[in-house]
């Protein structure tokens, strides 16, 4: 007796369960990551202003270096999820190991660059004479943890591809707690100062990497997947990551240009911009959690040769993105009287931030669509299109943003340009999603 096809309502409920099961733990892990820097800042801040300034410069460099390689998580998620959908767990884990070996190689290369050039990099970022020695010390020691940070990215991609976002949450929380305890012990207990904070963070990062490797190695042994480096597999992982690297660099360029323009508008504008940008980043975590679920779910459907399932999941996730964006928009509007005083008591900064903040709120439903479709196309392995679309977005954003100070526009006009940027992203992603060209089924794209 054949089983009756699922009703539309049953299919939606199934998609909802999958999205919630993956997105909620992913959100927790995403929020835990910036807590590392917050904990370091809180501990080092009591040592002195120069030490805290040094940490600010060094951590900005480190986070920039690591964020460039976020493709290790994205590309690995898509590749592993496809093979999971195809029912080939051995090949899925083998693909994940290629990503981990690539992460180790890239991490070693970054160390080789950062250690000898640390003083020059710190000077390039404009650290003061008093802060520069602390920044250099922190950067050189923390650089030793970069391979671990990249392994964490790649291994996180492996587990997401295996439809597991709970383990990354547990590891992130454990890593945060270990980092805080080690920092306190080494900074104050061992009296190592800022160097103790750097060593504490490095130890916590390698502990997280070790935890991930234990999980991945256990899976490899269970499914008899090779752990040895495969040059051809590592090259394939690198090639898959190049388009996503272009996408990430283009997005980073947009954010850096926006900050540079805000700095030209005046002190109140750049202060308000930093407040709004921090909120924008926090909102992005919530929407990115749905995108992460999209990467894993879409990759699995395509790997299982289920094009209809992929389309249905895409539609449902877009609905989730819009609904989440509406909720976030309402929260921003309601919380704005409380939010702004948390960051500043300067009325000029508040007055400058308020209209730009409302523009950010209005854009959230659109941001929900952008993040979700970004995740869908990543899960489909459509990296080349994502790279091209982001370059187009960058080209559209730059002249508009640069005109803001020339035409006498303020921060609200700049965030109008940011909203235009998100509009261009939404249009390019929507056109691709609607075309169906991203739907390529099979264990590999």
What percent of the chain lies above the pLDDT cut of 90? 70
Find how far residue 206's CA is from the centre of its chain: 20
Average pLDDT value for residue range 386-401: 97
pLDDT of residue 10: 82
Q: What is the pLDDT of residues 234-258, one digit of tens each?
A: 999 999 999 999 999 999 899 889 8
Find how far residue 218's CA is from the centre of its chain: 27
Give the CA angle between residues 329, 331, 332 to the nearest 5°. 65
Q: Work out the pLDDT band at 4, boundaries 50, 70, 90.
A: very low
Length of the chain: 445
Which comes out higher in pLDDT, residue 45 or 17? 17
The closest alpha carbon to 16, from 298, 438, 319, belongs to 319
Sign of CA dihedral 137, 142, 144, 150: negative
Return d(Cα 112, Cα 143) in angstroms, integer.
9
- The answer to whether the beta carbons of residues 388 and 401 sit under 8 Å apart is no
Average pLDDT score over the chain: 91
- Give the number of other CB atoms < 10 A from CB of residue 224: 10
pTM (predicted TM-score)? 0.90
pLDDT of 63 strictly over 60? yes
- The answer to whether the beta carbons of residues 245 and 68 sit under 8 Å apart is yes
pLDDT of residue 2: 40
pLDDT of residue 335: 86
Q: What is the pLDDT of residues 362-388, one digit of tens each?
A: 999 999 999 999 999 999 999 999 999
């Amino acid at each position: 007796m054949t089983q009756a096809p699922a009703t539309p309502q049953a299919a939606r409920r199934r998609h909802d369960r999958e999205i919630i099961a993956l997105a909620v733990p992913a959100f927790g892990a995403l929020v835990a990551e910036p807590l590392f820097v917050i904990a370091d800042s809180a501990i080092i801040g009591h040592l002195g202003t120069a030490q805290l300034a040094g940490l600010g410069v060094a951590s900005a460099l480190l986070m920039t270096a690591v964020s460039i390689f976020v493709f290790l998580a994205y590309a690995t998620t898509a590749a592993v999820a496809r093979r999971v959908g195809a029912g080939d767990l051995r090949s899925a884990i083998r693909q994940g190991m290629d990503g981990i070996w690539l992460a180790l190689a890239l991490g070693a290369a970054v160390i080789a660059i950062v250690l000898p050039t640390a003083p020059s990099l710190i000077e390039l970022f404009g650290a003061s004479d008093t802060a520069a020695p602390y920044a250099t010390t922190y950067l050189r020691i923390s650089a030793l943890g970069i391979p671990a940070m990249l392994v964490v990215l790649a291994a996180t991609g492996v587990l997401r591809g295996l439809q597991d976002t709970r383990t990354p949450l547990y590891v992130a929380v454990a890593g945060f707690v270990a980092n805080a305890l080690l920092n306190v012990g080494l900074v104050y207990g061992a009296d190592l100062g800022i160097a103790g904070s750097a060593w504490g963070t490095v130890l916590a990062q390698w502990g997280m990497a070790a935890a991930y490797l234990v999980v991945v190695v256990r899976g490899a042994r269970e499914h008899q997947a090779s752990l040895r480096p495969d040059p051809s597999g590592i090259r394939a992982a690198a090639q898959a990551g190049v388009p996503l690297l272009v996408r990430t660099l283009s997005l980073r360029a947009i954010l850096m240009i926006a900050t540079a323009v805000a700095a030209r508008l005046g002190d109140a504008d750049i202060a308000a911009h930093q407040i709004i940008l921090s909120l924008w980043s926090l909102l992005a975590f919530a929407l990115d959690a749905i995108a992460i679920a999209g990467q894993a779910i879409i990759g699995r459907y395509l790997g299982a040769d289920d094009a209809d399932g992929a389309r249905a999941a895409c539609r449902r996730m877009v609905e989730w993105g819009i609904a989440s964006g509406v909720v976030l928009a309402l929260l921003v509007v309601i919380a704005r009287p409380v939010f702004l005083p948390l960051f500043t008591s300067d009325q000029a900064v508040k007055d400058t931030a308020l209209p730009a903040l409302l523009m950010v709120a209005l854009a959230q439903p659109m941001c929900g669509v952008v993040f979700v479709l970004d995740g869908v196309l990543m899960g489909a392995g459509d990296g080349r299109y994502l790279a091209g679309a982001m370059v187009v977005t960058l080209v559209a954003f730059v002249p508009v943003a640069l005109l803001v100070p020339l035409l006498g526009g303020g921060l609200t006009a700049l965030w109008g340009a940011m909203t235009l940027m998100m509009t261009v992203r939404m249009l390019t992603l929507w056109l691709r999603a609607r075309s169906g060209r991203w739907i390529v089924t099979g264990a590999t794209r």
